[in-house]
């Protein structure tokens, strides 16, 4: 079954404690991206990757890092999380003319 | 640049029709439509490529007016299952990078 998986699904952490949200896809897609969703703001792109070792900033990249060492994985790293990064995060993987979203990670930073 | 979606919210009775719109200030390569139910990931509905084509998914169809840089989603004979938030994602360069609007909330009541 074609899917995008994210872990963890829920995370509560404290300010400054580094964390990683993993994302994996099994569709051999080259393009992957991360979004955050906040009430009333829609989906905003954080980072995207066109292929292995090729990443670029989206619209709201501050405070985030990504890496793309393998085609299937695209982890999102928060080196020093802050409360304004409390949000719902979605990883997405794009094939020809269709984008698949992961189930989401709800992050709370205290 | 984030597309503008209107109206912000629609309430309709089962069996009624509705139109929701997505407008961009830039020339578009494609428009994607997604539906998101509360607490779930966005689900792909359809993509419209430049050329003014129209597409359909169940009794939901969409059009893309390239000259006006806008797309409309038509909910025909709405069903309870159509409730959710509809997002349009606009692509400018054909590189899979999407900018999402803030969404149209649709509530279908019996």
Q: Which of B41, B96, B102 sits opposite A42 (nearest CB)?
A: B102
* pLDDT at position B94: 74
Binned at pLDDT 50, 70 and 90, residue A77 comes out as: very high
**Can you spell out the DSSP letters for A3-56?**
-EEEE-SEEEE-TT--EEEEEEESS--SEEEEEEEETTTEEEEEEEEEETTEEE
The answer to whether the bond into A21 is cis (omega within 30° of 0) is no
Instruction: Encode pLDDT of B73-90 as tens digits.
Output: 999 999 999 999 999 999
> Looking at the predicted structure, is the pLDDT value of residue A81 above 70?
yes
Residue B67, C-beta contacts closer than 8 angstroms, at least 6 positions apart: none
Q: How far is residue B38's CA from residue A42's CA, in Å, rounded to a whole number?
A: 13
> Looking at the predicted structure, is the pLDDT value of residue B18 above 90?
yes
Hey, of B6, B96, B100, which one would you mutate to test binding to chain A, going by the most A CBs within 10 A of its CB? B96
- Are residues A48 and B97, on separate chains, in Cβ contact within 8 Å? yes
Which segments of B34-97 does DSSP mark as H helices, in order? none
Instruction: Encode pLDDT of A5-31 as tens digits.
Output: 999 999 999 999 999 999 999 999 999
Interchain contact B92–A (C-beta under 8 A): no
- Are residues A33 and B102, on separate chains, in Cβ contact within 8 Å? no
What's the gap in Å between the CA of B37 and the closest CA on chain A? Answer: 12
Chains A, B: CB pairs < 8 Å: 51
Looking at per-residue confidence, does B27 or A62 come out higher?
A62
Binned at pLDDT 50, 70 and 90, residue B58 comes out as: confident
Residues of A in contact with B32 (CB under 8 A): 99
Residue A104, C-beta contacts closer than 8 angstroms, at least 6 positions apart: A6, A9, A37, A88, A89, A90, B40, B41
> Looking at the predicted structure, is the pLDDT value of residue B65 above 90?
no
- Average the pLDDT over A91-107 and give the result: 91
Hey, of B41, B46, B49, B87, which one would you mutate to test binding to chain A, going by the most A CBs within 10 A of its CB? B41
């Amino acid at each position: 079954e074609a899917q995008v998986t994210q872990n963890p699904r829920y995370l509560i952490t404290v300010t400054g404690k580094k964390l990683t949200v993993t994302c994996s896809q099994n569709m051999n897609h080259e393009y992957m991206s991360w979004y955050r969703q906040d009430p009333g703001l829609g989906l905003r792109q954080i980072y995207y990757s066109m292929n292995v070792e090729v990443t670029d900033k989206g619209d709201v990249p501050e405070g985030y890092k990504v890496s793309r060492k393998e085609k299937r994985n695209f982890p999102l790293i928060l080196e020093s999380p802050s409360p304004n990064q409390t949000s719902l995060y979605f990883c997405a993987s794009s094939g020809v003319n269709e984008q698949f979203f992961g189930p989401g990670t709800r992050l709370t930073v205290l | 640049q984030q597309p503008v979606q209107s109206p912000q919210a629609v309430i309709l009775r089962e069996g009624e029709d509705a139109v929701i719109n997505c407008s961009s200030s830039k020339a578009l390569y494609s428009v994607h439509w997604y539906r998101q139910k509360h607490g779930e990931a966005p689900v792909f509905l359809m993509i419209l490529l430049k050329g003014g084509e129209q597409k359909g998914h169940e009794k939901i169809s969409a059009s893309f007016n390239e000259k006006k840089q806008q797309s409309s989603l038509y909910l025909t004979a709405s069903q309870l299952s159509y409730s959710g938030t509809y997002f349009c994602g606009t692509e400018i360069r054909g590189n899979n990078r999407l900018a999402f609007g803030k969404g149209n909330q649709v509530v279908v009541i019996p």
